[in-house]
Chains A and B, each alone.
Chain A
Amino acid sequence: MLVSVNNLTKIYRLGDYEVYAVRNVFLNIDRGEFVAVTGHSGSGKSTLLSLIGGLSKPTVGRVKIDGVDIWELGDEELSALRNRKIGFMFQFSSLLPTLSVRQNMLLPASLAGADEREAEARARELLEQVGMEHRMHAYPWQLSGGEQRRVAVARAFMNHPELILADEPTGDLDEDSEALVMRMLRRMNREEGTAVLLVTHSRELAEQAERRLVMRRGRLLEVG
Chain B
Amino acid sequence: MRMHITLALQNLRMRKFRTAGIACAIAIASATLFISLVLTLSMSTSLRLSMAQLGADVMVVPASAESSAEGVLLGAKPVRWHLSYTYAEELEKIEGVEAASPLAFVEPPRECCSLRGVVLVGFDPARDFIVMPWIHRAGGLGRMQVFAGSEYALTPGSQVELYGYRFRIAGRMEPTGIPYFDRGIFMPLSTLYLLTQRGGGDLREGQVSVIMLRLSPGADAERVAEAIEFNFPELKAVVAQRALANVRNQMHLLLGSLLVLSGVIWGTAILLISVILSMSVRERMREFGILRALGATRRFIFGYLMAEVCILATLGGALGVGAGYLLLSQVSGYISASLGIPYPMPDRLYAGLLSVGVIDLALLLSTLASILPAYRSSRLEPYHAIRAGE
Contacts and interface: CB of A to CB of B under 8 A. Distances in A.
Interface of A: 47, 50, 53, 55-57, 75-76, 79-80, 82-84, 88, 90, 92, 94, 96-99, 103, 107-108, 110-112, 139, 155, 159
B294 A55 contact: no
Interface string B1-19: 0010001001101110000
B300 interface: yes
Contact of B383 (A55, A79, A108): A55
Given A76-B297, A111-B3, A96 B291 contact: yes
A50 B295 contact: no
Given A55-B382, A56-B382, A97 B287 contact: yes
Given A50-B383, A56-B384, A98 B11 contact: yes
Contacts of A108: 294-295
Given A55-B383, A56-B384, A88 B11 contact: no
Contact of A112 (B292, B293, B295, B390): B295
Contact of B293 (A47, A80, A82): A82
Interface string B282-306: 0000110111111111111000000
A111 B292 contact: no
A57 B300 contact: no
A94 B389 CA distance: 11
Contacts of B383: 47, 50, 55-56
B51 to A, nearest CB: 57
A56 B384 CA distance: 8
The majority secondary structure among interface residues of chain B is helix
Interface in B249-292: 286-287, 289-292
A83 B294 contact: yes
Contacts of A83: 294-295
A84 B295 CA distance: 8
Contacts of B293: 53, 55, 82, 88, 90, 94
Given A55-B383, A98-B11, A88 B294 contact: yes
Contacts of B386: 55, 90, 94
Interface of B: 3, 7, 10-11, 13-15, 286-287, 289-300, 381-384, 386, 390
Nearest to B2: A110
A110 B381 CA distance: 22
29 contacts: A50-B382, A50-B383, A55-B383, A56-B384, A57-B381, A75-B297, A75-B299, A79-B292, A79-B295, A79-B296, A82-B293, A83-B294, A83-B295, A88-B293, A88-B294, A90-B290, A94-B293, A96-B287, A96-B291, A97-B287, A98-B7, A98-B13, A98-B14, A98-B15, A99-B7, A99-B10, A107-B291, A111-B294, A159-B295
B381 A55 contact: yes
Nearest to A158: B294
Given A55-B382, A94-B290, A111 B296 contact: yes
A159 B7 CA distance: 19
Contacts of A56: 381-384
Contact of B297 (A79, A88, A159): A79
B294 A82 contact: yes
A79 to B, nearest CB: 4
Nearest to A47: B383
B389 to A, nearest CB: 8
A107 B292 CA distance: 11
Nearest to B294: A108
Contacts of A50: 382-383
Given A55-B381, A79-B297, 7 more contacts: A76-B299, A79-B300, A94-B386, A98-B14, A99-B10, A107-B291, A159-B295
Contacts of B14: 97-98, 139
